[in-house]
């Protein structure tokens, strides 16, 4: 069937069962937007800034486990996507990005709104394409969706010159993908799986260190079964949170820089560390020489390049986490490890996660209350900074995949647009955005998108009028020389919410919060709660730079 | 230790930038890199020489594997292989020195490819050691210009590293 490439793009999206596209139009993308005008199957969400489009697609992908799609025009439209693309890349999120480009004849001439976006995004995409031959376009889109969603997922960008978008092709969507240089390994080596089963059997103090790979592989059930079968405690990386029930007796919470002391000490004491879908990130390991010093290390990951990158692994195993765990489980016998369990219980009792309640509204208290009132079952989206770490510590996620946050890149401003995408992906689930006064102001224009789409997101700003995480670092490492962290002016966030027709509240005591919270959570529709919290509250425990994770300090 | 990687890549635009970019952003040093087409029109072959220990080379290979356009990587320095480098050197050469230089070139089986009023241009092919020796022997005459292709390499005997299958010890399917 003959049609333009722009029309073919819509047909490709329909073939990929895409329902929502987040985007922002512009000159070079007009043929595509004209084609969208005629589509009845694809909903386009107009954001307020292109960064919002890519974060929304990212959030949507995380909660739906499908490929998120966004589009923007050439030049500034494309460059505004860059942070969001890097964010999706660092967290291994499947997103397909379409950008407009100047006409083929103008490429390389510094034309109006021209930028080499494939060049710019080369290091932050899993792959990217500049379409030069219109007839190859359907195959490129097919490949892009395949690459984004399989193996270790990631973003793929397709740059479409304006004249290519208008070119006529005979449309046929390819049924198969042919990529001879891309064949991810899914099944783990059977001998290695046997070896792992043997090591688990011999181990007295096994510990599971589970990351985001559990979630991208949908292996939450297998993880739970593994932990319960072999009686091994589970610690999560930040990206791995909400892959294991937060109230489970075997759960240790997050490890690393701001991890629980008992998780970090258990890592130090374990004799077998079973790393699954995690990458030994520097925020997890801290001083690498002091990380799991007594342990035999098993590392299961779909990306061969992660294995042996940071730590020497005794048993490396490349493959899909879910497939591997399913093959491993029948080889294991239920084991009771009461001595190790007693030691873990002892650590939990000796070094609990605590904060000081002194009458002021503590941010940790806000998160604890949110968790209690939602029974740990809400979909929680966060921004980046102290509030993010408090969510990681104090929100006990009960359901798989209910935390949406920027882990690897640490993108302030991710929260609100990601919440928009998340809520659109799971319209029935209560969605809460926990943000900070710094992060929120980076992308708060997306309140417009949120209201336009009628999304009932509940926003909680932990507002301490300071860039808290930076302030904390300046306190510890720069002798409290606070530079460029105090906001001397803030808008009235509750009033700002009301300007967007969102009910706005301000609370600054525990009582006020407890009074407002049930009403806010029970009332349909959006709400914004501006929580005024102390500026000098630090995230603890904290492992100082250069120290091992067993040396965390509390204050 | 120096490793020689034979890398088969899709002959698509940007593939060189992808490889070069990967090396620079991951902090790997390229000793030399050559690229050209192979027996198949849609496949190019890069010969990349990298200096580093086994762990670094493993990371280089694994990171290269992640690029979609890379079809196959073989660290051929683990096997017997033949390698060649081509150099062209322009040296100062008065007419009185020409015979001497040409004799020297004969030792290295180099050829004279151009003559100027006061210069000679010589071409020499061989492995890295030979090329280095040739360069040193011409240095006393005054090298005005020198250009090298960088190394190309191929496994000896019936082993091969191509898209035609067979030698798959380090292929992506492995």
CATH code, domain carrying A332: 3.40.50.1220
For B136-171, the pLDDT digits (tens) are: 999 999 999 999 999 999 999 887 777 765 444 443
* Distances A533 to A27, A510, A530 between C-alpha atoms, Å: 45, 10, 9
Answer yes or no: do A123 and B21 touch at CB < 8 A: yes
The CA distance from B162 to B164, in Å, is 5
pLDDT exceeds 70 at position A551: yes
Instruction: Give me the residue label for tokens 């190019």.
Output: B44
Burial zone of A180 (CB within 10 Å; 0-12 exposed, 13-18 middle, 19+ buried) = middle
Q: Please say if the pLDDT value at position B25 is more than 50.
A: yes
Alpha helices in A43-96 (DSSP H): 50-64, 76-79, 82-90
Q: Is the pLDDT of residue A7 over 50?
A: yes
Residues with Cβ within 8 Å of residue B80, at least 6 apart in sequence = B155, B156, B157
Q: How far is CA A147 from the centre of its chain?
A: 19
DSSP 3-state assignment of A497?
helix
- A177 interaction partners in chain B (CB closer than 8 Å): none
B17 contacts A122? CB cut-off 8 A: yes
Cβ A331 vs Cβ A197: under 8 Å: yes
Q: Is residue A356 part of a domain?
A: no
For residue A550, tell me if it sits in a domain.
no
Q: What is the mean pLDDT of residues A180-200?
A: 96
What class, spelled out in words, does domain B82-152 have in CATH? alpha beta
B33 has a pLDDT exceeding 60:
yes
Predicted local distance difference test score (pLDDT) of residue B74 = 92
DSSP symbol at A486: B
Please give the C-alpha separations between residue A320 and each of A61, A189, A218, A299, in angstroms, as whole numbers: 19, 11, 10, 12
Distance, CA of B157 to CA of B160 (rounded, Å): 8
Q: What is the distance in angstroms between the Cα of A126 and the nearest Cα belonging to chain B? A: 8
Looking at the domain assignment, is residue A134 inside a domain?
A: yes
Kind of pairing between the strands at A155-161 and A127-130:
parallel
| Distance in angstroms (rounded) separating the CA atoms of residues A504 and A520 | 10
Residues 6+ apart with CB under 8 A from A411: A55, A83, A84, A86, A87, A384
Name the band, by pLDDT with cuts 50, 70 and 90, for residue A407. Answer: very high
Whether B33 and B150 have beta carbons less than 8 Å apart is answered as yes
Q: Does an H or E element contain A160, and which?
A: strand A155-161
H or E element in which residue A285 lies = helix A282-285
> For chain B, what percent of residues have pLDDT higher than 70?
94
Q: In Å, how far is B74's CA from the nearest CA of chain A?
A: 14
Beta strands in A417-492 (DSSP E): 431-436, 458-463
Q: What is the pLDDT of residue B173?
A: 35
Lowest mean pLDDT among A40-49, A242-251, A310-319, A371-380: A310-319
- Give chain B's mean pLDDT: 89
Whether residue A205 sits in one domain with residue A141: no
Kindly state whether residue A182 falls inside one of the protein's structural domains. no
Average pLDDT taken over every residue of chain A: 97
Option in A122, A130, A305 nearest B66 (CB): A305
Is residue A487 very low, low, confident or very high in pLDDT (cuts 50, 70, 90)? Answer: very high
Cβ contacts of A342 within 8 Å, gap of 6 or more = none
DSSP A542: B
Please indicate, yes or no, whether residues A510 and A429 belong to a single structural domain of this protein. yes
Rounded to the nearest angstrom, the minimum Cα separation between B13 and chain A is: 9
**Would the pLDDT of A144 be above 60?**
yes
Q: A180 to chain B: which residues are within 8 Å by CB?
A: 10, 71, 163
Predicted confidence at residue A332, as pLDDT, reads 97
Is A439 buried (19+), middle (13-18) or exposed (0-12) by CB count in 10 A? Answer: buried
Location of structure tokens 């292109």: A50
Q: Which residues lie across from A296 on neighbouring strands?
A: A272
Q: Is A288 on the interface with B (CB under 8 A)?
A: no
Nearest partner of A428 among A455, A468, A389, A448, judged by Cα: A455
Tell if the CB–CB gap between A119 and B17 is shorter than 8 Å.
yes
Cα(A240)–Cα(A400) distance, integer angstroms: 10
The tokens describing A392, both together, are 């990681």
Domain boundary pick from A301, A329, A350 = A350
d(CA A475, CA A172): 61
pLDDT tens digits, residue range A351-363?
A: 999 999 999 999 9
Work out the average pLDDT over B54-69: 93
Q: Are A323 and A297 in contact (CB under 8 A)?
A: no
Q: Between A137-149 and A5-15, two packed helices, what is the crossing angle to 10 degrees?
A: 30
A388 plus A330 within the same structural domain: no
Q: What is the pLDDT of residue B170?
A: 42
If you average pLDDT over residues A34-41, what whole number do you get?
A: 95
What confidence score (pLDDT) does residue A310 get? Answer: 87
B55 Cβ under 8 Å from any chain A Cβ: yes
Lowest mean per-residue pLDDT among A190-194, A269-273, A312-316, A391-395: A312-316
Please tell me whether residues A418 and A317 are part of one structural domain: no
Q: Which of A376-380, A441-445, B10-14 has the lowest mean pLDDT?
A: B10-14
Shared domain check, A220 and A81: no
Asked if the domains B2-78 and B82-152 are classified in one and the same CATH topology, the answer is: yes
Nearest CA in chain A to B163: A180
Q: Are A171 and A3 in contact (CB under 8 A)?
A: yes
pLDDT computed for residue A274 by the predictor = 98
Compute the nearest-CA separation of B67 from chain A (Å). Answer: 7
Written as one string, the DSSP assignment of chain B is: -EEEEEEEEE--TTHHHHHHHHHHHTTPPEEEEEEEE-SSTTEEEEEEEEE--HHHHHHHHHHHHHSTTEEEEEEGGGS-EEEEEEEEEEEE--GGGHHHHHHHHHHTT-EEEEE-SSEEEEEEEE-HHHHHHHHHHHGGG-EEEEEE---EEEESTT---STTSS--TTBTT-
Within this chain, do residues A337 and A413 fall inside the same structural domain, yes or no? no
Query: Which tokens hold the place of A382?
Result: 């966060």
Residues A154, A79 share a domain:
yes
pLDDT of residue B171: 39
Altogether, the residues listed in chain B come to a count of 174
Q: Which residue of B has its CA nearest to A122?
A: B18
* A309 part of contact set with chain B, CB < 8 Å: yes
Evaluate whether residue A509 is within a structural domain: yes
User: In the numeric block, which tokens belong to residue A125?
Assistant: 């995409």
Q: Which of A122, A180, A305 lies nearest to residue B62, judging by beta carbons?
A: A305
* Cβ–Cβ below 8 Å for B163 and A180: yes
* Residues within 8 A of A (CB atoms), B 138-167 only: 163
Nearest to residue A276, comparing CAs of A315, A312, A228, A250? Answer: A315
Pair A506, A396 in one domain: yes
Q: Let me know whether A141 and A211 are in one domain.
A: no
Q: Are residues A413 and A342 in the same domain?
A: no
**pLDDT score for A521:** 98
- Indicate if A163 and A206 belong to the same structural domain: no
User: Is the Cβ pair A303, B59 closer than 8 Å?
Assistant: no
* A407 and A436 inside one domain: yes
Q: For the purposes of burial, counting CB atoms within 10 Å of the CB of A525, is it exposed (0-12), middle (13-18) or buried (19 or more)?
A: middle
Q: What pLDDT was estimated at residue B168?
A: 41
The separation between CA A284 and the C-alpha centre of its own chain, rounded to angstroms, equals 16
Look at residue A81 and tell me if it is in a domain: yes
Nearest to B173 among A127, A183, A304 (CB): A183
Asked if B94 and B116 touch (Cβ cutoff 8 Å), the reply is: no
What residues of chain B lie within 8 A of the CB of A308, using their CB? 55, 58-59
Q: How many domains does chain A have?
A: 3
- Using an 8 Å CB-CB cutoff, list chain B residues near A118: 14
Spatial strand order in the sheet of A379-382: A403-404, A379-382, A431-436, A458-463, A527-532, A504-507
The predicted pLDDT at position B165 comes to 54
Domain extent listing, chain B: 2-78, 82-152
Assess contact for A237 and A278: CB atoms under 8 A.
yes
Put simply, whether A130 touches B (Cβ < 8 Å) is: yes
**Mean pLDDT computed over A110-126:** 97
Matching residue, tokens 């210009």: B145
Cis ω for the linkage preceding A541 (within 30 of 0):
yes
Range of lowest pLDDT (A372-381, A385-394, B78-87): B78-87
Fold of B2-78: Alpha-Beta Plaits (3.30.70)
Domain membership of residue A303 as a residue range: 190-350
CB of A55 within 8 Å of any CB in chain B?
Answer: no
Distance of CA A35 to the CA centre of its chain: 32
Q: Give the angle A12-A17-A22 at the CA atoms, nearest 5°.
A: 80
Measured distance CA(A59)–CA(A401) in Å, rounded: 11
Residues A275, A281, A284: CA angle, nearest 5 degrees: 80
User: What's the CATH number where A370 sits?
Assistant: 3.40.50.970
- CB-CB: which of A181, A305, A308 is closest to B68? A181
**∠ CA A487-A492-A494, rounded to 5°:** 130
pLDDT of the residue at A249: 96
pLDDT at B88 over 70: yes
The CB density around residue A351, as the number of other CB atoms within 10 Å, is 17
For tokens 């191929």, name the residue.
B154
Percent of chain A with pLDDT over 90: 98
Q: Of A122, A180, A304, which is closest to B18 when you measure between CB atoms?
A: A122
């Amino acid at each position: 069937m003959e049609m333009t490439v722009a029309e073919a793009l819509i047909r490709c999206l329909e073939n990929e069962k895409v329902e929502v596209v987040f985007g922002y139009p512009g000159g070079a993308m007009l043929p595509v937007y004209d084609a969208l005008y005629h589509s009845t199957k694809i909903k386009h969400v107009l954001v307020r800034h292109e960064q919002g489009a890519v974060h929304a697609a990212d959030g949507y992908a995380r909660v739906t486990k499908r490929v998120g799609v966004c589009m923007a025009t050439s030049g500034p439209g494309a460059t505004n996507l860059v942070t969001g693309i890097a964010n999706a890349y660092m967290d291994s999120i499947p997103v397909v990005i379409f950008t407009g480009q100047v006409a083929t004849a103008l490429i390389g001439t510094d034309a109006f709104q021209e930028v080499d976006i494939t060049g710019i995004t080369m290091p932050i995409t899993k792959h990217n394409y500049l379409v030069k031959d219109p007839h190859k376009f359907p195959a490129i889109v097919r490949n892009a969706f395949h690459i984004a969603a399989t193996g270790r997922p990631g973003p793929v960008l397709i740059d479409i010159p304006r004249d290519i978008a208008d070119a006529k092709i005979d449309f046929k969507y390819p049924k198969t993908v042919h990529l001879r240089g891309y064949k991810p390994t899914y099944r783990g080596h059977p001998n290695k799986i046997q070896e792992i089963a043997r090591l688990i059997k011999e181990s007295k103090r096994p510990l599971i260190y589970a990351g985001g790979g559990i979630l991208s592989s949908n292996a939450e059930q297998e993880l739970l079964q593994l932990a319960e079968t072999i009686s091994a405690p589970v610690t999560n990386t930040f990206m791995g949170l909400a892959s294991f029930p937060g109230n489970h007796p075997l759960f240790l919470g997050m490890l690393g820089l701001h991890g629980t002391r008992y998780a970090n000490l258990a890592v130090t004491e374990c004799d077998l560390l079973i790393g699954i879908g995690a990458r030994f990130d520097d925020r997890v390991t801290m001083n690498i020489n002091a990380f799991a010093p007594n342990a035999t290390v098993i590392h299961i990951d779909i990306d061969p390049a992660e294995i042996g990158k940071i730590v020497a692994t005794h048993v490396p195993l490349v493959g899909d986490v879910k497939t591997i765990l399913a093959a491993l489980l029948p080889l294991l016998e239920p084991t009771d490890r009461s001595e190790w369990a007693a030691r873990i219980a002892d650590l939990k009792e000796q070094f609990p996660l605590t904060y000081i309640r002194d009458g002021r509204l503590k941010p940790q208290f806000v998160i604890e209350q949110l968790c209690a009132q939602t029974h740990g079952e809400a979909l929680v989206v966060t921004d980046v900074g102290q509030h993010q770490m408090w969510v990681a510590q104090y929100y006990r996620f009960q359901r798989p995949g209910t935390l949406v946050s920027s882990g690897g890149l640490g993108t302030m401003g991710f929260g609100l647009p990601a919440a928009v995408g998340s809520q659109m992906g799971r319209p029935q689930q209560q969605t809460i955005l926990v943000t900070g006064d710094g992060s929120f102001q980076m992308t708060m224009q997306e309140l417009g998108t949120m209201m336009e789409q009628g999304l009932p997101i509940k926003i909680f700003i932990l507002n301490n009028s300071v860039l808290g995480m930076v302030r904390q670092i300046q306190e510890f490492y720069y002798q409290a020389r606070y530079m460029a962290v105090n906001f001397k002016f803030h808008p009235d966030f509750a009033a700002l919410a009301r300007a967007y027709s969102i009910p706005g509240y301000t609370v600054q005591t525990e009582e006020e919060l407890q009074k407002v919270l049930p009403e806010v959570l029970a009332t349909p529709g959006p709400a914004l709660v501006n929580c005024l919290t102390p500026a000098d509250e630090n995230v603890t425990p904290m492992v100082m730079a250069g120290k091992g994770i067993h040396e965390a300090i509390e204050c | 230790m120096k490793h020689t990687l034979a890398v088969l890549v899709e002959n698509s635009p940007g593939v060189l930038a992808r490889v070069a970019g990967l090396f620079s952003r991951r902090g790997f040093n390229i000793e030399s890199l050559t690229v050209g087409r192979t027996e198949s029109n849609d496949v190019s072959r890069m010969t990349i020489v990298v200096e580093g220990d086994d762990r670094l080379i493993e990371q280089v290979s694994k990171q290269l594997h992640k690029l979609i356009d890379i079809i196959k990587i073989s660290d051929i320095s683990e096997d017997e292989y033949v390698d060649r480098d081509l150099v062209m050197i322009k040296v100062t050469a008065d007419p009185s020195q020409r015979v001497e230089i040409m004799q020297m070139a004969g030792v290295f089986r180099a050829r004279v490819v151009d003559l100027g009023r006061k210069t000679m241009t010589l071409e020499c092919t061989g492995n890295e050691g030979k090329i280095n020796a040739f360069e040193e022997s011409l240095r006393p005459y005054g090298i005005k210009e020198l250009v090298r292709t960088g190394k190309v390499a191929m496994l000896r005997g019936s082993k091969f590293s191509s898209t035609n299958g067979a030698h798959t010890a380090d292929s992506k399917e492995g």
